[in-house]
Structures are given as structure tokens and as C-alpha cells.
């Protein structure tokens, strides 16, 4: 047994797990979950495989090594769809110029394999740490984080967590959250030749849009966080009308509200209600929220002086990251669900978010291998045995 990463094995396993399709939508991590279960069992971890809804799975590997805290590695088993534009097969790992290409290479099958390699190294040398080591690999992060939400609802005891996402082997200690309300603006249908007999819902939606834009510029974007930047409110979808010659009787809009750490989700929902009331009072717009689209979750952060943040920064620095952070995600991830358990955590992973979700997604080979050592070292620092 060695306490250094096995590069050939990591490349082989990354190729194998990329070849197992787990695109979301439509979802379905079953085959990936079975593969991860086997890898963990082979290393002596006790493993539980949970089907939290038909065809959707979480995997937890556990290794108890004396008294001490509980430390969890976490990332997700699903990927975004492959899409078009690839210069090679998206599900066949290709190595070129020090890069490993394939769907999920950096988001997030690369971090997952690096975490398993770190867990191997920790299992091989148990004299350097004490406590309980977990690997929590979940489904559905790309759409609604149903896997992480289900796992958190079981109330596991976790003290510290490192979440795998592409950060170029730097430390992220905060991320944004999101809410996506579906707003329906009501009008009155009429023949398009006699529009004065109706009330055009698209025109009414336009009046609401002016208020939404103003609210973003004058209120929302002024809420800032030192790591993740500005909060935001925008419109990402709009649809109205049902026939070419009929005045639209309704118009639906999907809003995207990005929250920064410190913002309260219930308070933001109250702001939506106040915005719709303002549109009614000023313009007579009749609108309501008819649904909330599922999202990854709320914003969160771990204090910059917390030991797990300091350990993460130190491990990144010791392993060659010139500027380890801490930084903040503009998007969301599953850290918030571990923070809801009281765990303190960070986000670290190989590869760049700038190539995630795109054709020819890749992870640099050196970052991929080095990240397994970073993961190992963060866990060791947080699971130091008592003197």
C-alpha cells in the first residue's frame, strides 16, 4: 500500500466513471452509484447505497478510526447533458497536452475520483488521523440537489466537510444561493382586431419588467459579499398568448434571484410579494407567483478564520497553489446542505468552472492528481489524533 496517489489508477477510474453516463436531465445515477460502491468496498469502507427516489441514488462510505470528529468528502455523481460541439466522444476519456477530456472530467467525476484516492491514502495509513471518515456521493446536484437535500434530512452527524467542485485547486468558503419564482401576469383575452376590448397580459408583463429591472439596479445589486460579489434579480424566461389573433390573457415569467450569504430566503420571498403589490398599486398589474422552480438551495459561507478554512488554504498552498483563496462561488453547490447540519466546510476541486458544462470539458492531469493529495491533507489536519 502507498500513501501517494496512483496516477495510472486514477486515470483508469476516471475513464471508467466518465464512460458511465449519468446526464441530468434525465438523471439516473444508478450505474455510477454501483461503481462507486464497489470502489469503496474494495478499500474496506462500510458502504450504504440509498435509492432516494426511483433510479436516483446516494452513496455513503464510512471508515471509523478511533475517537474524534466526523469528516466528510462530498460531491455529485450526475453531470449535465453532453450536448453538441465535442471534438471527440464525450464519454471516452481523451488525454492530450496534459489534459483529460470527457463529460464530467471536472464537474464532477474528476473531484469524485480524487476524493476516493484520498480516502484510499487515508485508509492505508490510519496512524496519522483519528475519527470518522465519510465519502458522501449524491445525485441530482445539477438541477435541484435532491440527493444532498435527502441526505441532510436524515440528520447525519458531520463536523467538517469538503465539497468537490472545479476551483482550480483553490479554496472556496462561500457560495451564492438562488430562488426561481414563476410569476403569472393576468390580462383579459379579446380579438386582436379589437384590442381595446381586452387587457394585453404581455403589455402588463412589460410594466412589471420595468419594476424588476429597477429593483435589481436600485436595491438588490447593492447587497454585496466580499467573496461572491453582488446579489442579483433578472428574468430568464417569458411566454404569453395562445393564438396568433387573440390578445394574451396571461403571461408567465421565470425570475432568477441570486442571493448572497446573509440574505434570508423567506425575506426574499416577501420582497417578491411586495414587488408584485407595487406593480398593482402603480399600474394595475394583476400578477401572482404560481410556482417556485427547484434550485440547488440558499447561499452560505464558512467563516474565513475557521480551522477547516485555514486547513484548506494551508493544504492548497503546500501542494503548489500560489493563491489558495479563500474565494466564493457565483453559483450554488451542495455545501449549503452540509452547513445546515452544523458542519463547517469548504469547496475544493481540480479543473476550472470556465470549462464545466461546455463541449470538450477537461481537467488538467496535474491538478487532478494533486487534488487527491490536497483532499488527503485537509482531512488529516482536521482529524489529527489527540497528543
Distance (Å, whole) CA 280 – CA 62: 55
Mention every residue, 6+ apart, whose C-beta is less than 8 A from residue 221: 230, 231, 232
| Nearest CA among 92, 94, 67 for reference residue 82 | 92
Q: Would you list the DSSP string of 326-342?
A: -EEESS--THHHHHTTT
Distance (Å, whole) CA 333 – CA 256: 16
Q: How confident is the model at residue 386 (pLDDT cuts 50, 70, 90)?
A: low
pLDDT of residue 1: 42
Q: Rounded mean pLDDT of 313-331? A: 96
Instruction: Give this prediction's pTM.
Output: 0.93
**308 backbone dihedrals φ, ψ, rounded to 5°:** -70, -30
Residue 299 pLDDT > 60, yes or no? Answer: yes
Mention every residue, 6+ apart, whose C-beta is less than 8 A from residue 121: 2, 3, 4, 5, 372, 373, 376
Q: Each residue of 237-253: pLDDT tens digit? A: 999 999 999 999 999 99
Q: Would you list the DSSP string of 294-327?
A: --S---EE--TTSHHHHHHHHHHHHTT-SS---E
Query: 46: helix, coil or strand?
Result: strand
Residue 387 pLDDT > 60, yes or no? Answer: no
Q: For 267-296, b where at least 16 C-beta lie within 10 A, e where not — what string?
A: ebeebbeebbeebeeeeebbbeeeeebebb
Quickly count: other Cβ atoms within 10 Å of residue 157's Cβ.
11
DSSP 98: T
How many residues belong to the chain? Answer: 387
Q: Rounded mean pLDDT of 111-128? A: 97
H or E stretch including 177? Answer: strand 177-186
Query: 203: helix, coil or strand?
Result: helix
pLDDT of residue 385: 77
Longest dimension (CA), the chain: 85
| Nearest CA among 351, 315, 338 for reference residue 166 | 351
Contact 323, 170 (CB under 8 A): yes
H or E stretch including 42? Answer: helix 30-42
Instruction: List residues bridging with 160 in a β-sheet.
Output: 71, 344
Query: 242: helix, coil or strand?
Result: coil
Q: Each residue of 137-177: pLDDT tens digit? A: 999 999 999 999 999 999 999 999 999 999 999 999 999 99
Contact 101, 88 (CB under 8 A): yes
Question: All 3 cell numbers of residue 40?
Answer: 469503496
Question: All 3 cell numbers of residue 251?
Answer: 403571461
Mean pLDDT across the chain: 97
Q: How confident is the model at residue 2 (pLDDT cuts 50, 70, 90)?
A: low
Amino acid at each position: 500500500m502507498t500513501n501517494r496517489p496512483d496516477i495510472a489508477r486514477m486515470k483508469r477510474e476516471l475513464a471508467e466513471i466518465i464512460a458511465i453516463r449519468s446526464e441530468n436531465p434525465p438523471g439516473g445515477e444508478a450505474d455510477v452509484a454501483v461503481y462507486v460502491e464497489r470502489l469503496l468496498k474494495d478499500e474496506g469502507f462500510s458502504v450504504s447505497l440509498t435509492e432516494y427516489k426511483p433510479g436516483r441514488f446516494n452513496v455513503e462510505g464510512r471508515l471509523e478510526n478511533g475517537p474524534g470528529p466526523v469528516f466528510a468528502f462530498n460531491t455529485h455523481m450526475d453531470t449535465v447533458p453532453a450536448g453538441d460541439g465535442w471534438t471527440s466522444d464525450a464519454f471516452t476519456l481523451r488525454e492530450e497536452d496534459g489534459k483529460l477530456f470527457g463529460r464530467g472530467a471536472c464537474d464532477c467525476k474528476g473531484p469524485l475520483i480524487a476524493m476516493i484516492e484520498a480516502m484510499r491514502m487515508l485508509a492505508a495509513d490510519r496512524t496519522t488521523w483519528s475519527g470518522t471518515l465519510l465519502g458522501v456521493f449524491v445525485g441530482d446536484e445539477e438541477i435541484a440537489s435532491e440527493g444532498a437535500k435527502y441526505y441532510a434530512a436524515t440528520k447525519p452527524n458531520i463536523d467538517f466537510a469538503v465539497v468537490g467542485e472545479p476551483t482550480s485547486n483553490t479554496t472556496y468558503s462561500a457560495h451564492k444561493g438562488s430562488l426561481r419564482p414563476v410569476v403569472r401576469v393576468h390580462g383579459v383575452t379579446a380579438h386582436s382586431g379589437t384590442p381595446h376590448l381586452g387587457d394585453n397580459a404581455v403589455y402588463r408583463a412589460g410594466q412589471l419588467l420595468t419594476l424588476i429591472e429597477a429593483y435589481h439596479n436600485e436595491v438588490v445589486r447593492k447587497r454585496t459579499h466580499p467573496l461572491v460579489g453582488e446579489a442579483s434579480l433578472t428574468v430568464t424566461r417569458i411566454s404569453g398568448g395562445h393564438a396568433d389573433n387573440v390578445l394574451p390573457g396571461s403571461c408567465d415569467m421565470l425570475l432568477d434571484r441570486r442571493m448572497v450569504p446573509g440574505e434570508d430566503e423567506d425575506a426574499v420571498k416577501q420582497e417578491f410579494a411586495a414587488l408584485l403589490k407595487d406593480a398593482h398599486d402603480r399600474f394595475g398589474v394583476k400578477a401572482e407567483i404560481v410556482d417556485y422552480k427547484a434550485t440547488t438551495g440558499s447561499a452560505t459561507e464558512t467563516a474565513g478564520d475557521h480551522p477547516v478554512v485555514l486547513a484548506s488554504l494551508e493544504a492548497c498552498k503546500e501542494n503548489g497553489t500560489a493563491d489558495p483563496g479563500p474565494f466564493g462561488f457565483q453559483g450554488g453547490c451542495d455545501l449549503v446542505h452540509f452547513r445546515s447540519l452544523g458542519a463547517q466546510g469548504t469547496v475544493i476541486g481540480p479543473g476550472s468552472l470556465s470549462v464545466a458544462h461546455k463541449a470538450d470539458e477537461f481537467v488538467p492531469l496535474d491538478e487532478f492528481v494533486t487534488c487527491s493529495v490536497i483532499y488527503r491533507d485537509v482531512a488529516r489536519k482536521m482529524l489529527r489524533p489527540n497528543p
